[in-house]
Amino acid sequence: MYCPEPGMQCDFGDLWNHEAKSCIRFECMPGYFGPYCSLPCRFPNYGKDCQRTCFCHPQSCDHVTGCRTPTTEMVNICPPGYFGSLCRAKCIYPSYGKECKEVCDCSEDLCNVTNGCQVKAEACPPGYFGYLCKAKCVYPYYGEECQGHCGCSENLCDVTHGCQPVTEKFAAMDTHGTLRLDPAKNVHFVGLNCTILCPYPVYGDICHGACDCDENSCDGNLTYAR
């Protein structure tokens, strides 16, 4: 657009101020921009000068006010990470969680729509997983990426190294009945004074074996499964 003054030219959409003899930027209402403020903000932007950002689905983002608040009915129906009348729409990165109100502070590939930031398993030390690697492998799993599988009872399964051998020292440590093994004899028993047969599904020497059959076919006193 050419201004009235000879040789002067304003940017497209700006206005010529006769008193100041200069171009001035036209002040747009929130939600609009462009030549003479004729264009609505484009998703995900909204608000004054389109400087704010919607963290919701495009259909829920108003170019003036931002994300529309879900109705109470929708909030009660949809699980965390989802929204919409049928709860089929996933939260848009970086939003996640209930009503998509939480915001991930990690990259998009690590942002789970339900739980937020996740750490890749390979980033965690053996025996741990999850965000910041705070969660331990759940029995009977152990080791790198929790891919190992313990074939012993839970109290002998170390989350890092797997099944641990029972020594004289270990047997003497526990005097309250949670586990007491005699490595010289009664190796198929646990409990105070070694009176309890290896519990299903474990069997054999110091209860290190694990039956892959039903309980009726698993004999804790055997050194091998039937």
Q: Is residue 57 part of a domain?
A: yes
Q: Are residues 198 and 220 in the same domain?
A: yes
Q: Is residue 138 part of a domain?
A: yes
Q: Is residue 10 part of a domain?
A: no
| Alpha carbon distance 198, 212 (integer Å) | 15
Nearest to 63 by CA among 73, 74, 72, 53: 53
- The pLDDT tens digits for 138-175 are 888 899 888 888 888 888 889 999 988 755 433 433 44
Q: Are residues 203 and 152 in the same domain?
A: no
Judge residue 154's burial from the number of C-beta atoms within 10 Å of its C-beta, 0-12 exposed, 13-18 middle, 19 or more buried.
Answer: exposed
Overall domain count for the chain: 4
Domain encompassing residue 155: 121-164
pLDDT at 219: 65
The DSSP secondary-structure symbol of 182 reads: -
pLDDT at 31: 93
pLDDT at 40: 92
Average pLDDT value over all residues in the chain:
72
Write down the pTM of the prediction.
Answer: 0.30
- The pLDDT tens digits for 72-112 are 334 446 888 888 767 788 888 888 888 888 888 888 888 88
Q: Is residue 4 part of a domain?
A: no
Q: Is residue 13 part of a domain?
A: no
pLDDT band at 55 (very low <50, low <70, confident <90, very high): confident
| Alpha carbon distance 117, 60 (integer Å) | 23
Asked which of 100, 118, 136 is the last residue of a domain, the reply is 118
- pLDDT of 188 strictly over 80: no
- Residue 96 forms beta bridges with which residues? 102
Judge residue 120's burial from the number of C-beta atoms within 10 Å of its C-beta, 0-12 exposed, 13-18 middle, 19 or more buried.
Answer: exposed
